[in-house]
Amino acid sequence: MQRKKQSHILDDMKQLMKWNVLIANVLPVMTGFVLAIASTNAAFQDYWLQFLLACIGAALVMAGALIINNWYDTDIDSKMERTKKRPTVTGKFTKRQVFITGLGATVSGFILLLVVNLEVIFYAFIGWFTYVVLYTMWSKRKYTINTLIGSISGAVTPMIGWAVVNSAIHIVPLTVSLLLFIWQVPHTFAIAIKRREEYRAAGVPMLPVVYGFDITRRQMLVYIICLFPLPFLIAQLGTLFVVISTILHVGWIVLALAGFWMKNQRKWAQWNFLYSVNYLVIVFMLLIFVGMV
């Protein structure tokens, strides 16, 4: 009975910090670090402790931002099918408990990052402030550009990892961050198409809700095309990376174009969602691979 109760608490905590989103944001931090080690010819053993602290600290800061997002969005989450079981909606945690947990995670994360260096803290703060203040509290409920604003917070993660070793004002982390920023837009639009009626009921002005599927499809295609030249900007990472990422881009462009004649838009959006997830995992695993060999 005790184990079952502990399991439920763990599941609630995972939902509170949006576990899948959190893990997806830690991967680019690791990627940035591996690429920095490879590009600067640094020794891993000289930075392993800073790397560990950066990963844990960044994860705590991100978890804090996601938890505070849940605290602030309880009213919205109660109206959407996919978020109705979050502990903030079910009442398993009080709003005060959630806020204190989010704030505690945030402060703990920044304390750990302080041991690493100030540049790491700077990028982590940009991510936290953008997600909590500019996205959650300001733009999400008011403007369709909420997707662009929210994408900034996820885009800084490779720079956090790179800054553990050296300044992230470098073509590689900047390009990888730009790739992540652009990727988030069609990925999020695909979710918004699938869940349009839920967003409408919650009063969230996502692009498909305000302007419909046609404009959303066009914008998705534009952003996916914008991804195409990015691997060539960092061709120094090797032919393998450029070739595979280009093939993935072409595949996504073809899939995006298919949306202009498919009748079932939600099915098409689901395909785009799945493709975008696999695209990101493959690209970042590939970046880690080329950084290690």
Total domains in the chain come to 1
Q: Which residues of 217-226 are buried (b: 16+ CB within 10 A; e: fewer)?
A: bebbbebbeb
**What confidence tens digit (pLDDT) does each residue in 261-291 have?**
988 999 999 999 999 999 999 999 999 999 9
Q: Output the average pLDDT for the chain.
A: 94
For residue 16, pLDDT over 90 is answered with no
* 227 neighbors 179 (Cβ within 8 angstroms): yes
Domain encompassing residue 139: 2-292
Q: Which of these, 163, 160, 156, lies nearest to 184 by C-alpha position?
A: 156
pLDDT band at 86 (very low <50, low <70, confident <90, very high): confident
For residue 5, pLDDT over 80 is answered with no
**What confidence tens digit (pLDDT) does each residue in 67-80 have?**
999 999 999 999 88
Is the whole-model pTM more than 0.85? yes
* 146 neighbors 205 (Cβ within 8 angstroms): yes
Q: What is the CATH number of the domain that holds 59?
A: 1.10.600
Residue 135: the pLDDT is 98
For residue 2, pLDDT over 60 is answered with no
pLDDT band at 209 (very low <50, low <70, confident <90, very high): very high
Residue 241: the pLDDT is 96
Mean pLDDT within 160-168: 97
